Structure formats: C-alpha cells, structure tokens
Amino acid sequence: MSESVERLPQGTPALRLHRQLSAIWATGPGLQRLAAVNHSVIGLRMMVTSFAFFAIAGVLGMLTRVQLATPNSTFMVPETYNQVFTMHGSMMLFLFAIPMVESFAVYLTPKILGTRDFAFPRLTAYGYWCYLFGGTILTVALIAGVAPNGGWFMYTPLSSNVYTPGINSDVWLLGVTFVEISALSLAMEIVVSILKMRAPGMSLDRMPIFAWYILVTAMMMIVAFPPLILGSILLEVERAFGLPFFDPTRGGDALLWQHLFWLFGHPDVYIIFLPMAAVLSTIIPVFANRPLVGYRAIVVAIVALAFLSFGIWVHHMFTVGIPHLALAFFSAGSAIVAVPTAVQIFAWLATLAHGRPRWDVPMLYVFGFFFIFVIGGLTGVMLAMVPFDWQAHDTYFVVAHMHYVVAGALAFPMLAAFYYWLPLLTGRTAVHRLSVPAFWLIFVGFNLTFFLMHLTGLLGMPRRIYTYHGDEGWNWLNLLSSLGGFVMTIGFALLVIDLFVQLRYGRRVRRNPWGSTTLEWAMSIPPASYAFASIPHVATTNDGSAPGELAVSLARGEGYLGSVRNGWQEALGVHMTSGVPDQLIILPNPTYLPLCTALVTAAAVLSMLFKFYWLSLGFALVTMGLFVFAAQSAGLARDYGPLPIGRGVNVPPHTEVADAPAWLALICTLVADGTLFTSLLFGTFYLWISAPNWTTAITPEPSRALAFGAVAALVVATAAARGSLRTATAGGKASGWIALGVMALLVAIAAAVRQIAGVVPDPREHALGATAAALLGYVTLHAGIGILFLVSNILRQRAGFISPRRVLDLRLTQLWLDYTLITGVIAMGLVLTLPALVTVLGGRP
Amino acid sequence: MSERPVPPRHLWWLAAGFTVWCSALVALYAIHGFGCAFVWSAGSLRLWLAVALLAHLMVLGWMWYGISRVAPDFGFGPTGVFLYWAVMGTLITALVATAITFGPPLLLATCI
C-alpha cells in the first residue's frame, strides 16, 4: 500500500498548486505546441501517428488481399504489387508496431512509475519528430510510386544497385534508419528513466511488472537495432559509393545482410511482444481481482526470453545452406524459447484461475490473445524444426504464422490496453453496444484471414507472388482469406466509430474505474501535464496500492515536491535498486530545438536520398552542432547543494551527483554503439571466412606508423580528458587540457583518414578494402564526436556550468574518449591483421 | 529504511547467466564455422566444440555454486532477497538452456 506523506509546511491547496504547476509544465497553445517535450503530449502524438500509419498499412494489406482474392487478377501490375506488399510489411513493423509499443511506454511508464516525466524530454520530442519525418518519407515515396519493392527485409542482392537501380531501396534504407534513430533514442530514455526516476520507495522488488517488461524491452532495443542500422549503412554505402560488402563478385557476401537483418529481426518479434505481455500482466490481475501469480518467475522469464530471442536469428535462414550441426543450435534455441513464454502464459492462467475474474471489453481481447497467440506459438515450434521449415519456407504457412505471432499477439493486447487505459485519457468508458461486436468482427475476421493461410501454404502457395493460375487448389482459400480481411476491417472501422462515440457520448467515469492498483490512476483524469502534483512514496509493493485514496493526498501536495521552485520542472532521481531519493532532477522546458534538429536530420537524409552527398554531410554536421547547442542550456549554472524535497529529505540537484541520468544514458549509448562495432567485427570475420575471392585480392599493406600514430593520439586524448577532470575537480580551469585533447583527436583523425586514402585493395573494388575502410571510418567518426564533446566542455566551462561539484560534462567526455580508444585499438589492430588473415585463408586445404 | 541498498552493479548479475549462454553460442558457432572453412576432421572439430561447451557449462555451474552456497544477504532487505532469487533463477535457466541447446547438436554430422 502506498502511504500518504506528511504535509509540507509550505504545502498549498490543490487548485493553487495545480495552477502553479500547470504554468510551469504545460505546453503552450498554437504554434507553441511544436515545442512540446512533455511525455504525455509526445506519447499521445506517437500513438495517433502510429495508428495513422497502421491505417495506411492496413489499406495496403487490403489491396494485396483484393489482388489475391481471385486467380489471374489484373487489379495491380506486378511492380505496384511489389511496392504495396513491401510497404505493408515495412509500415506495419517499423512505422506501426515498434512506435506503437513505444508510444504506450512513453505515455504510461512515467505515470506507472509515479514520476512526472522522462529523464530527457527533448530527446523524447526529437525521437518523435524523427519517427514522423522518417515515416513521411516512406509514405510520400509510396504515393510517388518509388516506394521500396524488395520485400520488408530487403534481401540483397535483390535490393542492390544491379537489381534495384532506382531510389526504391534507398528510401527503405534511409527512411527506416531514420525511424530507428527515434526508436533507439526512446529506448535509452526509457531505460534511464525506469532505473533512475521511480517514485521514492519503489525498490526493484516493488516495481510494477509493467516496468520490468518495458525495461527489458528497451534494453533489447538498445542491442537489437544497431546490427540493422549497421547493415543499412553498409548497404547504402554500397549503393551510393560502390563499396561491395554484399557483392560476391567483389569479395562481399549477400548472406551477410541476412545475418545483420535477422540479428535485429528476430529479437524484434519479442520487442513487440514483451510490451504487450506487460499490458496483459497489468490488466489480468485487475480483472481477476488478485495479484499476479509468479512475479519473480515472470521477471526471470523476461530476462531469459530477452537473451534467447537474440540467439535464434538463424532460424530465418534455415534454407541458405548452413551445415546441419549449426542449424541444430538454432533449432533447439527456437524450440526452447517457448518455455519462458509458456511461463508467462501459465502465470496469467493461474492468476485467472485463482482469482474471481470479471468480464469486460478488455478481457474479451485478452481471451482473443490467448487463442491466437497459442496457435502462433505452436506453429512457431513447428517452423523451428528444420525439416518442416524446409518444406514450409517462403510459403503462406510462414505468412500465417508471422501474422498470428506478430499481428495477433500485438493487436489483441493492444486493443485490450486501448479499452483499459482510454478512460485515463478521456475520462469516459466505451459504449458496449459497439465495442463487443467490434471485437467479434475483428476476432472472426482475423482467424478467417490468417488461419486459412496455413492451409494455402501447406498446399504450396509461395509468399509474395502477385497472382496465380487457378488450377493449384488455392482459389477458395484465397477468396475466404480476402473475405476475412474485409470482415476484420469492418471490425476495426466499428472500433474507430466506438472511439469517437466514447469521446462524445461515453459515460463519465470515476477515478480508477477498473479498481486498478497501479499509480497511473492516482492522478486527475485526463492527466495533467505534470502528471502528479506531488510525488508519492511507495511503502510496499506497488501492485497492491489504492490509487484512488492516494490521488487526493497527492493533489494537495502532500507527497514529495509538493510545491514549486524557481519555475523549475522538477522530478526526483532515486537509487537504482532501493528507490531511495538521491537527486533532484531539473528537466528542460518546452523548446523548438528537437523539431529543428529533426528537420535538419531529415534534410541530411533527403540529401543522401537524392545523392547530394556533400550537402548531406553538411546537414549531418549541423545536426551534431545542434546537439552541442542543446547541451549549452542543460543543467544549472551554479552550485546549490542539497535542496528540500519534502518529508524532511534534502537531496542535491542532478548536476552535482555522480550518477546523474546523463551518465547512465551515455553508458546505454555506448552499449548500442558497442553492439554496432561488434556487428562490424562480425561482418569482417564473416566475409573473411565465407565470402569468395578474398585469397585472389591484392594483399593489403596497412601503414603501421599511421595506425600506431592514431592510437598514440587517442591515448593522449584520453590522458588529456583525465587531466581536465582532475583540474576542474581541484577548482582550476581545464581549458589547456581540453585544447590538448582536441589537438590529439585531430591528429588521430588525420592519421585514420590518411590510412583510408591508402587502403589496398581499393574499397570500391573489393570487400577486403571496404571492410578496412569501414573500420577506419568508425574510428574517425568517434574521434570527431570526441571533438564535439570537448568543444561543448569549453563552451560550458565558460558559461559557468562546470565547477568542482559539477564535473559531469568532463566525466562524460572521458568515458567517450575511453571507449574511442578501446574500439580504436581493436579496429586498428584488425586492420593491421588483415594481411595475415588473408594469408591464412590461402593456406586452406 | 534500516537496510543497506543493493549496489547497482549487482544488477549485472541478472544478465550474467545468459551472457555466458550467448558466449557459448558465439564460441560454438565460430569454432564450427572456422572448423568447416579450414576442413578440420570431424573428430577434432567435435572435440573442440565439446571442450568449448564444457567450459561454458563449468562456468555456469561455478556461478550457480558460488551463489547458492551463500544465503541471501538480509542486510539488503527484501530487494536483496528478490534479486538473489531472480539471479539464481536466471543462472539455473541459463545452465539448462546451454545444455539443451548446444549439447545434443554435437552428435550431428559436422559440416554437411
């Protein structure tokens, strides 16, 4: 049970406090809405945007069903069909599924954690704008008839220049990467916020299970997205500049793309599923009227699932010619991943079995989920068996399975969540006369559409064909599938009508209409911009609190931070495990910077798309400059020492503590960056061992002097970073050390660029040279970003943001440069080792 | 609160067991790829794979033993106890997953 806290001496009546907080936290009217950084506003926008893309992708899906409803259909020509089905998959996965689950996380997580906002509101806003612009690029390409047309996983060599010479593939590579920037930035934001910004007293064992799911999902995103980002960059570089990473005629290998794609693609299924499991684990106990069974077992299952999901990417590649023994690793892994999933299913069933379940609209969708996910899970185990997969690969059986596990496991919990939390957004409940038939239409339509595809697939219908002759025995199955698609669409249309009816005529609800136990209901409905007028203290497990009673106390300002100060947007930072408050986090106010930065990023992407490469580089530099500029207004320009936060507790501001959110955020960034670097190393070794023509290439002769020079310069830079930190901590000015660091990094960049210029064989002629250039380019880029860190340090030191107590900037720089040095040594070492590796290849029997 | 907070670095232990599982996957897949590319004999390739698997199983077993021989530190309060059992759960799960995922495949034909 969460307890109400003592009234602060300076406590204010609820209404007055509301007005004061609103003046600080609210997003302004009119054009000022574009400056919004608040998680509620951004979360809602993401939700609406993702549903808009869902509608577009849904229409595209319907078009494919119209085309396939009858044999020899001329509804679409093949080229149009290719674009339509590619965009259906790409939009559903990249523009709807991932952003939609993120929008739920963005909107709900701070509220469920009992905090006021995320740790980096400007990053949230930047992430949203990147998503919107990236999605818009893809949508405009579709309208213009130049949309991607190589399938949603863009396999090479089909997507390479030779077979797709237009900009279709570039649209996918650049647009999707742009959207991934958004996903990655939000994932980091979520990890930091869950670990550092929970309500005081909410230790890890008291954390709502929803937050555990979202935490693990966000961590998975941090590791899962970089391989695809790297793959997209390498393929775009191949298409734009001719570096042949995936071209077997020049020492590349098309299968490298499949590895990089599925290293992302398989975990992505769980990245979509886990947040929906979070929804189920939150909703089911509420409707079962009892706490969730097996909280600890579920936490273990989530961790297991997260790891196992990364180790089974090759089950998408069972037919590419990998030896049986290696296939068996992935086959066994694919089967075993069902176990932690089953642990959750049984925990939900046990919760229902031991509780007193009541039925309402969300539970209808929970029922739908159970039915559909179990079918999808079982066909997944079938496909995990190599002999069966060889038979069913690239048939409609796989399409059916994929829709059951991704679409079904996403759509039904999503709609359960939709009906469950909509009263929080609107203050009204659904109109049952519409929502119940809507459910049945969606449920029946879904199964009619996709269950029959199992049979079509078993009868041998390949996926992605634009028509068929009519004598294969697929006619009536395809017709019924298409009919089911229309039934499902009618269901979704009814659901949209239900939403509008609810907004206008829905019955007004009291606070916490479902009798929930999580903190998002301990606030006004719909939520205010500041979420909580004061921050609650969680005394026991959060899944057992009574939000209704707590809400009144919090609204009166009887929790932490129950008053305003200096016009600051204040939130609390806590110890990661215990939840003891340890810092006051001052969040930035609304600003147009995220929008401007995203616009410039979009300009860089568009310039790249239209092959204005120098212009693109310029915009990329401006984007980085804007990040440095944004950092100039972060933090506080003087020392404050411990400040009162209520309940007799004083904590320092986040600028004066060691484990500020930015520190954890940089660690998350480096984990993502390290994954990308590891993927690059994997790519290098993969090509070395698998790609043809490496032994016949000109033997590389990397310059040892330049390599050692670059590494020595990076060592000097890290030493300078340490010197600047020591000097600033002692109260001195670190300008000299910072200048030395900049000089050293410039030397490192010069040495690396010189090496790139002298790479043999020519990077455009052979993948051996291309991989060396990529490794050296990685070092150059990181040294360049190191310079930006140092420039920011100088500017912020001059502006008074650095003092002996406030040295976080310098610590961040040191961490970045340490990372740059470590990866630099590895990259340079590998470049120097390449000749020996090629020689070893030549000695093969 | 009278109990000591669990140091944040202890959270890494939640990932430790399955990190070893990942390491086993990477090692076995790499050794297999290398062995097949350089045409090792089936016997020596299988031996190397078995050694790598055994090494990972031993590491996991050692981690499990190390954790299980000490009782949860009640000085860390309920959070410490929760993390203790969660870490224990992940270690056991990772050990079983490593044995099941990578053990039986070693009996198959090596490079066909």
Mean pLDDT over all residues of chain A?
A: 93
- What does the pLDDT average to over B90-104? 96
Alpha-carbon distance of A88 to A346, in angstroms, equals 33
- Is the pLDDT reported for residue B1 higher than 60? no
Q: Is the Cβ pair A307, B1 closer than 8 Å?
A: no
| Nearest of B26, B12, B42, B38 to residue B101 by alpha carbon | B26
Task: List chain A domain ranges.
Answer: 693-842
Task: Name the minimum distance, in Å, from the CA of A215 to any CA of chain B.
Answer: 13
pLDDT of the residue at A427: 86
CB-based contacts of B89, cutoff 8 Å, min separation 6: A296, A297, A299, A300
Strands A643-646 and A581-587: unpaired
On chain B, the residues whose CB falls within 8 A of the CB of A204 are 6, 11, 79, 82-83
Is some CB atom of chain B closer than 8 A to the CB atom of A307? Answer: yes
Task: Name the minimum distance, in Å, from the CA of B104 to any CA of chain A.
Answer: 8
| Nearest of A348, A329, A340, A371 to residue A287 by alpha carbon | A348
A328: nearest CA in chain B?
A: B105
Task: Name the minimum distance, in Å, from the CA of A694 to any CA of chain B.
Answer: 13
- Is the pLDDT reported for residue A4 higher than 50? no
- Nearest CB among A323, A332, A685 relative to B111 is that of A323
pLDDT of the residue at A332: 94
Alpha-carbon distance of A352 to A293, in angstroms, equals 9
Q: Is the Cβ pair B22, A311 closer than 8 Å?
A: yes
pLDDT of the residue at A112: 95
| Nearest of A371, A378, A389 to residue A331 by alpha carbon | A389
pLDDT of the residue at A426: 85
Q: Is the Cβ pair A307, B37 closer than 8 Å?
A: no
On chain A, the residues whose CB falls within 8 A of the CB of B29 are 326, 329
**Residues A563-586: pLDDT tens digits?**
999 999 999 999 999 999 999 999
Which 3 state secondary structure label does DSSP give A643? strand
- Is the pLDDT reported for residue A545 higher than 60? no
Q: How far is CA A374 from CA A265, A287, A334, A408, A610, in A?
A: 21, 21, 15, 10, 46
DSSP string, A568-600: -EEEEEE-TTT--EEEEEEEPPP-SHHHHHHHH
**Residues A6-61: pLDDT tens digits?**
344 444 578 899 999 999 999 999 999 999 999 999 999 999 999 999 999 999 99
Calculate the CA A806 to chain-centre distance.
Answer: 31
- pLDDT band at residue A408 using 50, 70 and 90 as cut-offs: confident
- Nearest CB among A296, A308, A576 relative to B11 is that of A576
- Is the pLDDT reported for residue A541 higher than 80? no
Q: Is the pTM of this model over 0.80?
A: yes
Calculate the CA A638 to chain-centre distance.
Answer: 35
Q: Is the Cβ pair A328, B82 closer than 8 Å?
A: no
**Residues A128-162: pLDDT tens digits?**
999 999 999 999 999 999 999 999 999 999 999 99
Q: What is the DSSP letter of A637?
A: S
**Residues A183-234: pLDDT tens digits?**
999 999 999 999 999 999 999 999 999 999 999 999 999 999 999 999 999 9
A312: nearest CA in chain B?
A: B25
CB-hemisphere CA count at 13 Å for A756? 20
**Residues B53-68: pLDDT tens digits?**
999 999 999 999 999 9
CATH classification code of A693-842: 1.20.120
Alpha-carbon distance of A375 to A463, in angstroms, equals 20
- Is the pLDDT reported for residue A687 higher than 80? yes
Greatest Cα-to-Cα distance within chain B, rounded to the nearest angstrom: 63
A692: nearest CA in chain B?
A: B37
Alpha-carbon distance of A96 to A55, in angstroms, equals 9
Task: Name the minimum distance, in Å, from the CA of B42 to any CA of chain A.
Answer: 11
Query: Taking a contact as any Cβ pair under 8 Å apart, which residues of chain A between 309 and 328 contact chain B?
Result: 310-311, 323-326, 328
- Residue A136 burial class via C-beta count within 10 angstroms: exposed 0-12, middle 13-18, buried 19 and up: middle
Alpha-carbon distance of A692 to A696, in angstroms, equals 9
**Residues A798-807: pLDDT tens digits?**
999 999 999 9
Is some CB atom of chain B closer than 8 A to the CB atom of A34? Answer: no
Q: Is the Cβ pair B86, A845 closer than 8 Å?
A: no
**Residues A89-121: pLDDT tens digits?**
999 999 999 999 999 999 999 999 999 999 999
On chain A, the residues whose CB falls within 8 A of the CB of B105 are 325-326, 328-329, 331-332
A305: nearest CA in chain B?
A: B18
Q: Are A531 and A40 in contact (CB under 8 A)?
A: yes
- Is the pLDDT reported for residue A269 higher than 50? yes
CB-based contacts of B54, cutoff 8 Å, min separation 6: none
Interface confidence (ipTM) of the complex: 0.95
| Nearest of A481, A610, A463 to residue A151 by alpha carbon | A463
Q: Tokens 């005081």 sit at which residue? A: A200
Helices (H) and strands (E) in chain A, counts: 25, 4
CB-based contacts of A367, cutoff 8 Å, min separation 6: none
- pLDDT band at residue A676 using 50, 70 and 90 as cut-offs: very high
Mutation target to probe the B interface, by most B beta carbons within 10 A, among A318, A577, A679, A686 is A577
Q: Is the Cβ pair B104, A204 closer than 8 Å?
A: no
- The strand ranges marked E within A224-347 are none
Q: Are B29 and B103 in contact (CB under 8 A)?
A: no
Q: Is the Cβ pair A328, B104 closer than 8 Å?
A: yes
On chain B, the residues whose CB falls within 8 A of the CB of A333 are 25, 97, 101
Q: What are the beta bridge partners of residue A651?
A: A643
Task: Name the minimum distance, in Å, from the CA of A324 to any CA of chain B.
Answer: 6
- Is the pLDDT reported for residue A604 higher than 90? yes
Query: Taking a contact as any Cβ pair under 8 Å apart, which residues of chain A between 199 and 228 contact chain B?
Result: 203-205
- Is the pLDDT reported for residue A844 higher than 90? no
pLDDT of the residue at B2: 65
Per-residue exposure over B23-36, b if at least 16 CB sit within 10 Å of its own CB, e if not? ebbebbbebbbebb
Task: Name the minimum distance, in Å, from the CA of B24 to any CA of chain A.
Answer: 10
Is some CB atom of chain B closer than 8 A to the CB atom of A690? Answer: yes
The length of chain B in residues reads 112
- Is the pLDDT reported for residue A542 higher than 70? no
